[in-house]
């Protein structure tokens, strides 16, 4: 079983044929994506090789502090990316790191406490990656939803302000909508899991030779974890963000 898990350098090299196919389509259709495909390919190889060696080192030394640093590194990166996509929202880095950080801490805490996973780097690091990347996407959706909602429902917000509503009272409908939109993908994904796609966690375990009936147990935990994480991060991000659409005189700034 383990032999089939090794990809030789030659096989890796031959797999670039897959990229060549994409480049040929680009060339024929004059899409102008050639450079992008090349850069994406090279970046993926470099980034993954580096992270492969780093993880291999982290797994070997199996040290609590180093694992924790790895977790913080992932959370920081996810927050920084969410911040970059925040479309000019005030304090978006603080908001991103709070929502991703709290979501990650709570989810990891429950998983370790329940015994679903152990505090070993080979489990903690990949799980943190899953949590943080989902939280990052969720917050991106929250920022975008708040932006469009405040723009589309501007008149409604103004009416509420004119009636004497404070920031929170004028924004509640929008805040709820944004939490809902942030959570929706993880709920949908959970509903169709197994019917449409076999998710990464489960596929990975099966690749490694784990029995499918065992692999699904991990997948169930992961799906529940992702619903919780998207709920927590979209809740925190929505409540921390709506204020930034107003000035101190409680007037809309968008």
The one among 50, 158, 196, 254 contacting another protein by CB under 8 A: 158
The one among 196, 208, 250, 254 contacting another protein by CB under 8 A: 250
Classify burial at 138, counting beta carbons within 10 Å of its beta carbon; exposed 0-12, middle 13-18, buried 19 or more. Answer: buried
Contact between 245 and 182 (Cβ < 8 Å): no
Using CB under 8 A, which residues numbered 168 to 197 contact another protein?
169, 173
The one among 155, 192, 213, 253 contacting another protein by CB under 8 A: 155
Give me the phi and psi of 246, to 5 degrees please: -125, 155
As measured in angstroms, the least distance from the Cβ of 156 to another protein is 5
Query: How many CA atoms within 13 Å lie on the side-chain side of 88?
Result: 4
Using CB under 8 A, which residues numbered 90 to 149 contact another protein?
none
**Is position 64 an interface residue for another protein (rule: CB under 8 A)?**
no
Query: Which residue, 1 or 163, has its beta carbon nearer to another protein?
Result: 163
- Beta bridge partners of residue 146, listed in sequence order: none
**Is position 253 an interface residue for another protein (rule: CB under 8 A)?**
no
Q: How far apart are CA 97 and CA 231, in angstroms?
A: 15
- Beta bridge partners of residue 252, listed in sequence order: 246
Q: Which residues bind another protein (CB under 8 A)?
A: 155-156, 158-166, 169, 173, 249-251
């Amino acid at each position: 079983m383990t032999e089939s898990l090794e990809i030789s350098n030659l096989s890796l090299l031959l797999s670039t044929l897959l990229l060549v196919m994409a480049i040929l389509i680009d060339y024929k259709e004059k899409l102008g994506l050639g450079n992008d495909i090349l850069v994406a390919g090279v970046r993926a190889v470099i980034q993954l090789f580096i992270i492969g060696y780093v993880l291999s080192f982290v797994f070997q030394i199996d040290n609590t502090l180093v694992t924790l640093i790895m977790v913080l590194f992932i959370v920081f990166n996810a927050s920084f990316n969410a911040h970059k996509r925040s479309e000019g929202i005030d304090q978006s880095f603080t908001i991103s790191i709070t929502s991703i950080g709290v979501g990650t801490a709570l989810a990891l805490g429950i998983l370790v406490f329940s015994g679903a996973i152990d505090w070993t780097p080979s489990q903690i690091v990949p799980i943190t990656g899953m949590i943080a990347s989902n939280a990052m996407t969720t917050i991106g959706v929250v920022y975008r939803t708040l932006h469009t909602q405040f723009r589309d429902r501007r008149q409604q917000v103004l009416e509420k302000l004119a009636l004497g509503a404070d920031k929170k009272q004028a924004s509640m409908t929008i805040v709820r909508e944004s939490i809902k939109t942030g959570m929706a993908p993880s709920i949908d994904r959970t509903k169709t899991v197994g019917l449409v796609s076999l998710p990464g966690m489960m596929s990975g375990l099966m690749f490694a030779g784990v029995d499918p009936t065992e692999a699904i147990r991990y997948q169930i935990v992961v799906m529940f974890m992702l619903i919780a994480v998207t709920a927590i991060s979209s809740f925190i991000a929505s409540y921390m963000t709506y204020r930034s659409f107003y000035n101190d005189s409680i007037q809309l700034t968008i």
